[in-house]
Structure 1
Amino acid sequence: MKRSLILAAALALATPVAAQEVQFSPDATLECMEKQRLPGADDTCIGESARVCFQRIKNASNADIAMCMGKESEYWKGRMDKAYDRMMELAEVADEEFAKNPLSAKVTAKLVVDLADQQEKWADWREIRCATEAMMRRGTPYPMTAAANCTMKRIGEQALFLESAITYMETK
């Protein structure tokens, strides 16, 4: 909670009075991901659409850049939330199946509990990480863009992690 207030204060101090309207589409990120040849390299595409978004803005301010990154964060959050919900469904089934295994008497951990715990702790970690990145730039014009970039990257990475976990669970 304290870190949220620190991060909000950093963003408020760095925010200009008015930013331009931004036009965001996830297309550049998706096109980049389609071109990837190396497994697991999709995370290098996180931020491509935000970059295209702020490059379209003449004389983009830090607030404009952060808003574009925020739009891409929203895109990734939608994917992450959808993947998390699907993983919870798969985890419930996996836990039910494992309960039939004789080893379940010795291995009492539940995937649904671990998954929920991981997601909660990941959110706390992301908040701390991004607040730290913003605070490292305090006194400069860049705390807001550092926080926005960090948030976008971390949410995108988590979305891709959960999506790959779904693929694993559905193919095992």
Structure 2
Amino acid sequence: MTKVALSFAFLALAAPAVAQDLTFSPEATEACFAAGGLAETCIGASAQACMVENEGGYSTVAMGFCFDREWQYWDAALNAAYGTLRDQRAAIDAENADLGVNVPSSADALRDMQRAWIAYRDRRCDYERSLWGGGTGGGPASIACLMSETAHQALYLEEQLGGE
């Protein structure tokens, strides 16, 4: 085995250990919103804090980890809001049906909108990755895009709940 191949093998084995040492907390994002921050300021705040607080936080592996953890945070918020909103819309659809009101199903429209949004998000973030021309920054850029798009959609769905 050549020295180069051996080095790559070592790095491949070391990467998971590095990722295991990283920590993430959604505190910075939550504190930003609690202080009245705007979405554009608060989305990504915890990922940035993660990169600053972890040794080697601006490595490709660490950036990917930090963006991924905040993406998971926003994905959980999105799924919670979507589930509640879907139930709310289904109840309104049932009420309308009981009253004999003939209107399109808002629960179906919500589902269709969400499916279309997922396809849009994925294509948009694929495009973002393509801008890196195969460079190592493409991975973190793609995950940062997924995080940001998911956060915006989660906030939109939460807004649709109207204070519930």
Query: Normalized against structure 1, the TM-score is what?
Result: 0.79
Closer, same or farther: CA 101–44 of 1 in aligned 2, 3 Å: farther
- Answering whether residue 152 of structure 2 is matched by residue 154 of structure 1, we say no
- Answering whether residue 120 of structure 2 is matched by residue 125 of structure 1, we say yes
1:50 to 25, 47, 50: 47
**Partner deviation per Cα, 1:59-97 (whole Å, 9 max, x = no partner):** 331111111100001111111111110001100111122
Give 1:31-70 correspondences, 5 Å limit: 31-36=31-36, 41-60=38-57, 61-70=59-68
Aligned residue for 1:23?
Answer: 23
Higher relative contact order at CA 8 Å, sep ≥6: structure 1 or structure 2?
Answer: 1
Number of matched pairs: 148
**Partner deviation per Cα, 1:31-51 (whole Å, 9 max, x = no partner):** 0001126xxx33431110011
CA distance in 1, matches of 2:117, 2:41: 20
Deviation at 1:161, TM superposition (A): 0.8
2:139 to 137, 144, 156: 144
> Is this contact kept in 2: 1:22–1:54, CA < 8 A?
no
Which ranges of structure 1 fall in alignment gaps of 5 or more residues? 1-15
> Is this contact kept in 2: 1:27–1:49, CA < 8 A?
yes
Aligned residue for 1:77?
Answer: 75
Q: Which has the larger Rg?
A: 2
Identity of aligned residues (%): 29
CA distance in 2, matches of 1:139, 1:43: 27
Query: Normalized against structure 2, the TM-score is what?
Result: 0.83
CA RMSD in angstroms comes to 1.8
> Is this contact kept in 1: 2:129–2:139, CA < 8 A?
yes
